[in-house]
Amino acid sequence: MTTTTITRRRRFAPIAAAMAASALILSACSGGTSTETPASGQSAESGSVEPSGAFDSGNATYDEVVNLGPVADEATIAASEWATKVKESGVLRVGGTETSDLFSKLDPVTGKVIGFDAGMSQLLARYIFGDATKTSLTQVSVDTREELLVNGQVDVVIATYSITPERMERIDFAGPYYSSASAVLVKSDNTDIHSVEDLAGKTVVTQAGSTGVTTIEEFAPEAEVLALPDHAQAVEALKQGRADAYVIDQTLLLNAVSQNDDLMIVGEPFGDEDLYGIGVQTDTDGAAFINEWLETIFSDGTWLALWHATIGEMTGVLTEPTAPAIGSAGN
């Protein structure tokens, strides 16, 4: 069997070509969105209007994507009770994280959070308010995500949030907006684990309450499961030798590889496709509104430009992902 190994790769240059392609697509799409702002990749020099409330993280490529995303027109907002309520509140309250380089990372110098999930929240704020800065972040864990939504403490949860039947009993999901599968992370000096088939008798760490627990039970039933509260603690357990391997979505493991020269992913992705959704309260039209926005950014190139500016740039992965079909998780 062919074994794939993924180790840390050097970041590559900003993605001008992808941004230019997005701009061409965006300029052709205007249904349900404001035309007062430029398409992704355009600038003031080309005759477009500067975005209001510009998000400034110091990463020019990333900032360009979130600041030039589509903006909903007044009729689109008015047609949604959920969007109207959010807009009247003046800020999109987001449940997310600050510790994932690829998905949502706080820069202690700038005070800005950037990454694929962070960018999705900023683009949604841009769509609602015309301003990508109008978000407030509440940190969540696998144990608190549903509670914060049910209690109305956040408007959305965007945090590599897998859509599952159990979670859909308590909340609604928009999307999915990203897909992944499980993978195996080990230390780079490992010599005896080459795939999930080698995990029998090993201590395998994963996140408590995540799909990783059931995945290990199904694909490595003879492994000893060590369940820890979050991704950072799971990575540390592996590095410290308290676990032999870490099993979770490959996208999260790519995040660990991007930060650590001493870790690598072995074998091929396995298990069911893991579909990430945007969590919202039940009994609202929030999921329907967000799904319409997702369709817009999937088709106009914004979603792919964000992937290039975050996951693609950080990992060096060159194969572009395909956006998942809305509702494909049964939500």
> How much is the pLDDT for 266?
92
> How much is the pLDDT for 238?
98
> How much is the pLDDT for 316?
72
Residues 66, 201 within the same domain:
no
Residues 40, 150 within the same domain:
yes
Burial category of 90 from C-beta neighbours within 10 Å (exposed 0-12, middle 13-18, buried 19 and up): exposed
Note whether residue 322 is domain-resident: no
Quote the number of domains for the chain: 2
CATH number of the CATH domain containing 198 = 3.40.190.10
User: Taking the CB of residue 316, how many other CB atoms lie within 10 A of it?
Assistant: 15
> How much is the pLDDT for 13?
35
Q: Which domain holds residue 22?
A: 15-171+281-315
Contact 182, 247 (CB under 8 A): yes
* pLDDT less than 50: residues of the chain: 1-2, 9-31, 35-51
Note whether residue 328 is domain-resident: no
Note whether residue 77 is domain-resident: yes
Residues 194, 122 within the same domain:
no
Residues 214, 305 within the same domain:
no
Note whether residue 81 is domain-resident: yes
> How much is the pLDDT for 314?
85
Token representation of residue 55: 């998000």
Of the residues 274, 290, 324, which one is the last residue of a structural domain? 274
Note whether residue 3 is domain-resident: no
DSSP for 132-157, written as a single string: TT-EEEEE--TTTHHHHHHTTS-SEE
Residues 92, 207 within the same domain:
no
Residues 163, 311 within the same domain:
yes
> How much is the pLDDT for 295?
98
Contact 246, 190 (CB under 8 A): no
Residues 137, 36 within the same domain:
yes
